[in-house]
Amino acid sequence: MRKLGVGLAGAAFLIAGCGGGGTDRKVTLSISGSGRNVNMTACGKQEPFQLYAKAPARVPYAGTVSPAPDGRWKVKVKIKKCAGKEFVESSSQKIVGQPDGRYEGAFRDIGKGDYFLRARYQSGDRPETEKYYFQVK
């Protein structure tokens, strides 16, 4: 009788941990290719900004979704540009992820301005990264 109880409890834990609907995913993102990082203010936000020395700039990014989704999956990576007192959408890309949970890409020909970039998983509860700020001179 005791063995049956432990077996059923173990089976319930196994089933609850196998996806089934409530998988909490985490999305990470990093940007590269900038010359340096400096604290500055744009659109009323004081944040650390990655600096790109010359427009048009190429802004490469990479990240992960974990746990790695099954099958084909996507993230939407969006750039917003400071326009006066608010950030407005400037560009976006939908990137198909790799089986191990990685994704990567780059925005090209980014003009002068202050921006932020963020990634959002395109399924389930749609978790997203924090904002990563950058400036193109």
Q: How far apart are the first and last CA of the chain?
A: 72
Type of residue at 95: I
Q: Using pLDDT thresholds of 50, 70 and 90, give the confidence band for residue 22.
A: low
Note whether residue 13 is domain-resident.
no
CA distances from 23 to 17, 18, 60 (A): 8, 8, 29
From CA 62, how far away is CA 132, in angstroms rounded? 12
pLDDT, tens digit (0-9, with 9 covering 90-100), for 52-93: 999 999 999 999 999 999 999 999 999 999 999 999 999 999
Note whether residue 16 is domain-resident.
no
| CB 116 within 8 Å of CB 78 | no
Of residues 15 and 103, more confidence is placed in 103
Q: pLDDT at position 124, please? A: 86
CATH number (domain holding residue 126) = 2.60.40.640
Q: Which structural domain, as residue segments, surrounds residue 116?
A: 25-136
pLDDT, tens digit (0-9, with 9 covering 90-100), for 32-50: 999 899 999 999 999 999 9
Side-chain-side CA neighbours of 86 within 13 Å: the count stands at 2
Query: Tokens 């340096």 identify what position?
Result: 36
Q: Is the peptide bond before 48 cis (omega within 30 degrees of 0)?
A: no
CA distances from 107 to 32, 33, 52 (A): 11, 11, 13
Secondary structure element (H or E) that encloses residue 134, with its range:
strand 132-136
Determine the Cα angle at 45 with ends 43 and 48, to 5°: 120
Q: pLDDT at position 6, please? A: 40
Note whether residue 57 is domain-resident.
yes
Note whether residue 116 is domain-resident.
yes
Q: pLDDT at position 35, please? A: 86
Note whether residue 15 is domain-resident.
no
Note whether residue 103 is domain-resident.
yes
Average the pLDDT over 3-23 and give the result: 40
Note whether residue 8 is domain-resident.
no
Note whether residue 93 is domain-resident.
yes
Query: Tokens 């963020």 identify what position?
Result: 118
Count of domains in the chain? 1
pLDDT, tens digit (0-9, with 9 covering 90-100), for 94-106: 999 999 999 999 9
Q: pLDDT at position 30, please? A: 96
Instruction: Tell me the whole-structure pTM to 2 decimals.
Output: 0.80
Is the predicted pLDDT of residue 3 greater than 70, yes or no? no
Q: pLDDT at position 23, please? A: 72
